[in-house]
Amino acid sequence: MESTEPRIRGRLAPSPTGALHLGNARSFLLAWLSVRSRGGSIVLRIEDLDHPKVKPGAAAGIFEDLRWLGLDWDEGPDVGGPCGPYVQSLRRARYREALAALRAKGLAYPCVCSRRDVAEAQSAPHGRDPHSLAYDGHCRGRFASWEEACAALPPGRLPVWRFRAAPGVSAFDDAFLGRRELDLAGELGDFAFARDPDGAGYQLACAVDDAAMGVTEVLRGDDLVDATHCQLALQAALGLPRPRYVHVPLVVAEDGRRLAKRHGDTRLATLRDAGVPAARVVGLLAWWSGLAPFGAECAPADLLADFSLSRVPRAPAVLDARVRAMLGL
Ligand code: GLU
Ligand code: ZN
């Protein structure tokens, strides 16, 4: 009876910074379908380390939204499981331990440079967005401890932890995008992985938790491809296994930009309150994903039998006039 295949385990990793909108929902549906269509299990993890943006009550709203769509999970904050806790703010000891391991290897150091300092140290022009300017390593070896770095800053400002990026090409085979390569040291430099004394920040927490929760597949929006390269470097440094990665296009509005407030209220809770049936929303997400005709109404489970990643269009899904009309937006 026991399968020799390692169990497929996927995860839904929402940040409780607000309610789910159609863009999040589409990525979560695909993450669920990819794993469930192969008989795998799903872990729900709440990524609540982004303090200023975390909203009380948002996690409960996300559970409700996901269940309304018809998505379920086998382990999570509300159902428990062997790999808990499933809320990152309750897992600080693990991040502290991972940070200590990186420090022991000389791979992590505190940095006090502002984004502006980093921008000013740039000489060559480049095409990346200002969030991913290559850092020049200015603070390497500069501070003996986090506290020492804190003391070099005005009150209220915190250092970041940076990872010493090795020169060379970082590469992985994405199950949707194909081979992805990045000159991590050249393009990002020593990237920041946490703004927190314990190392409790997105990049490190994600790398640590995907491994600790036995995640074998990470399906998420393709805005996180660069983050994946950072997480691969952290995993390798910590001796953690590498999951399979699947990065899917985002949902955009007619202007080609990713869904945001200015494009109108596409929150699931708002649609639900307006009386839009869940089946219509799931049908839309399925149509955007090449899995159902326009205007279909269905449940996620109806899509399992014919699901294939190869049906998902390469281009971003577009919230256009036809979609707006269907949803009453
Ligand atoms: N918590 C992140 C977000 O909601 C997703 C991180 C991930 O999937 O790795 O944007
Ligand atoms: Zn610095």
Ligand 1 site residues (CB inside 6 A) read 13-15, 47, 206, 220, 224
Overall average pLDDT of the 82-92 stretch: 98
Q: Which ligand is nearest to the CA of 88?
A: 1
The proportion of the chain whose per-residue pLDDT surpasses 90, expressed as a percent, equals 88
CA of 134 to the centre of ligand 2 (A): 11
**Ligand 2 center–CA 232 separation, angstroms:** 22
| Separation of CA 227 and ligand 1 centre (Å) | 10
The Cα–Cα gap between 250 and 224 comes to 10
Cβ-contact 288, 317 below 8 angstroms: yes
Q: Of 64-68, 145-149, 260-264, 284-288, give the lowest mean pLDDT range.
A: 260-264
**Dihedral angle over CA of 151, 157, 163, 168, nearest 10:** -120
3-state secondary structure of 247: strand
Residue 31 has pLDDT above 70, yes or no: yes
Ranking 48-57, 83-92, 96-105, 172-181 by mean pLDDT, the lowest is 48-57
Kindly state the average pLDDT of the residues 38-65. 95
Run of H or E residues at 110: strand 108-111
Which tens digits make up the pLDDT trace of 236-287? 999 999 999 999 999 999 999 999 888 999 999 999 999 999 999 999 999 9
pLDDT of 214 higher than 50? yes
**Inter-residue contact 286 to 263 (CB < 8 Å):** no
Q: Which ligand is nearest to the CA of 152?
A: 2
- Predicted pLDDT of residue 260: 87
Q: What percentage of the chain reaches a pLDDT higher than 70?
A: 94
Ion ligand 2: residue ranges with CB closer than 5 A: 111, 113, 138-139
pLDDT at residue 121, rounded to an integer = 67
Rounded mean pLDDT, 311-316: 97
Structural domains of the chain ordered from first start? 9-89+249-327 (3.40.50.620), 91-248 (3.40.50.620)
Task: Name the residue with the closest Cα to ligand 1, atom 7.
Answer: 13
What ligand has the least distance to the C-alpha of 247? 1
Report which bound ligand comes closest to the CA of 44: 1
Bridge partners of 247, per DSSP, are: 220
pTM: 0.94
Does the pLDDT of residue 5 top 80, yes or no?
A: no
Opening angle at CA 55, ends 254 and 197, nearest 5: 110
CB distance 222 to 249 below 8 Å: yes
Which residue of 11, 12, 15 sits with most ligand 1 atoms within 8 Å of its CB, as the best mutation to test the pocket?
Answer: 15
Per the prediction, the chain carries an average pLDDT of 94
Residue range 300-316: mean pLDDT, rounded = 98
Give the mutation target among 20, 34, 47, 49 for probing the ligand 1 site: most ligand atoms within 8 A of CB.
47
Q: Read off the pLDDT of residues 19-28 as tens digits, 9 standing for 90 and up.
A: 999 999 999 9
In tens, the pLDDT along 164-188 reads 999 999 999 999 999 999 999 999 9
Atom of ligand 1 lying closest to residue 24 CA = 4
pLDDT digits (tens, 9 = 90+) for 119-141: 766 544 444 454 457 899 999 99
Mean pLDDT within 295-316? 98
Gap from CA of 194 to ligand 1 centroid (Å) = 15
